Amino acid sequence: MSLRLNDIAPDFQAETTQGVIHFHDWIGDGWAILFSHPKDFTPVCTTELGYMAKLAPEFQKRNCKVVGLSVDPVESHFKWEKDIEETQGYPVTYPMIGDPTLAIAKLYDMLPAEEPGTSEGRTAATNQTVRSVFVVGPDKKIKLQLTYPMTTGRNFYELLRVLDSMQLTAEHRVATPANWADGEDVIIVPAVSDAEAKEKYPDGWKTIKPYLRIIPQPGKN
């Protein structure tokens, strides 16, 4: 089953480095990021987990929980975490899911449902599609999904940027233009009529085209 944006994120129970979690219950009423890795003790992923550990407070500020996943068992994750802290300088403070049966990787369409076997004997190349990011909203729906190539480290500042944009949209019914950064002008979404916009944005807006109305970012002076 292919997952699409605004599908309900599949729920699951899993063992993690911080105990068993029930995914939807664990998310609670906030946001969540599930980011997966094809194999423990791989070079690019080691740098990624370390950088996410560095930025974890930024995600916490945005009421967004973070959980990692690889198909290796939790016991392997504990050993890997030591390497991550040693080489990247930050301890991993978020949970890491062990998925040795490949169940969650298949549930999230990162591996084919008919993929045989367990994590034992598999390589990073075998699991290369298990290199995805899912952002899940408070409504438990998938708001973003990205799958990266094996050799390209993820840009976690981009994840923060997209999270800021989506949270702004959820609160103010605005969209963000290309290359937008926090604090820059935003776009009134077409679903908001001019009459509604006058009530919502009494200071007015700049009309480029009837469908392209620009205002300063709400909440920013």
DSSP conformation letters of 156-189: HHHHHHHHHHHHHHHHH-EE--TT--TTS-EEE-
Report whether 68 contacts 38 (CB < 8 A). no
| Same domain membership, residue 79 and residue 146 | yes
Regarding pTM above 0.75, the answer is yes
Looking at the structure, do residues 100 and 149 belong to the same domain, yes or no? yes
3-state secondary structure at position 27:
helix
- Name the 3-class secondary structure at 75: helix
In terms of domains, do 22 and 131 share one?
yes
Q: Are residues 40 and 117 in the same domain?
A: yes
Residue 164 lies in a domain: no
Note the residue count of the chain: 221
In a domain, 162, yes or no: no
- DSSP letter, residue 221: -
Q: Is 219's pLDDT higher than 90?
A: no
Domain of residue 203, CATH code: 3.30.1020.10
Residue 181 domain boundaries: 173-215
Q: Is residue 71 part of a domain?
A: yes
Report the CATH number that the domain containing residue 77 is assigned in CATH.
Answer: 3.40.30.10
Please confirm, yes or no, whether 64 is among the known catalytic residues: no
Q: What is the mean pLDDT of residues 39-68?
A: 97
Does residue 136 surpass a pLDDT of 80? yes
Name residues whose C-beta falls within 8 Å of residue 175's C-beta, 6 or more positions apart in sequence: 165, 169, 186, 187, 188, 189
Q: How confident is the model at residue 22 (pLDDT cuts 50, 70, 90)?
A: very high
Mean predicted confidence (pLDDT) in 210-220: 93
Instruction: List, in order, residues 6 or more apart from 133 with CB less than 8 Å away.
Output: 33, 34, 35, 36, 144, 145, 146, 147, 148, 154, 159
Residue 221 is predicted with a pLDDT of 62
Cα separation, 31 vs 63, in Å, equals 6
Tokens 């298990």 sit at which residue?
130
Q: How many domains does the chain have?
A: 2
Marked catalytic residue, from 21, 45, 110, 186: 45
- Say whether both 120 and 43 belong to one domain: yes
User: Which of 3, 5, 1, 2 minimizes the C-alpha distance to 162?
Assistant: 5
Same domain? For 119 and 25 the reply is yes
Domain boundary among 123, 153, 183: 153
Mean pLDDT of 176-188: 97
Over residues 49-78, mean pLDDT: 97
**CA 83 to each of CA 56, 86, 89, 90: distance values in angstroms, whole numbers, following the listed order:** 18, 5, 10, 10
DSSP H/E element including 80: helix 74-88
According to DSSP, the residues that pair with 209 across neighbouring strands are 212
Residues 112 and 177 both lie in one domain: no
d(CA 133, CA 203): 38
Does residue 197 share a domain with residue 136? no
- Token pair of 56 as six digits: 């974890």
Q: 183 and 99 in one domain?
A: no
- Segments in the chain forming alpha helices (H): 23-27, 43-61, 74-88, 103-107, 156-172, 194-200
pLDDT at 1: 60
For residue 96, being part of any structural domain is answered with: yes
Which two tokens mark 72? 């290796």
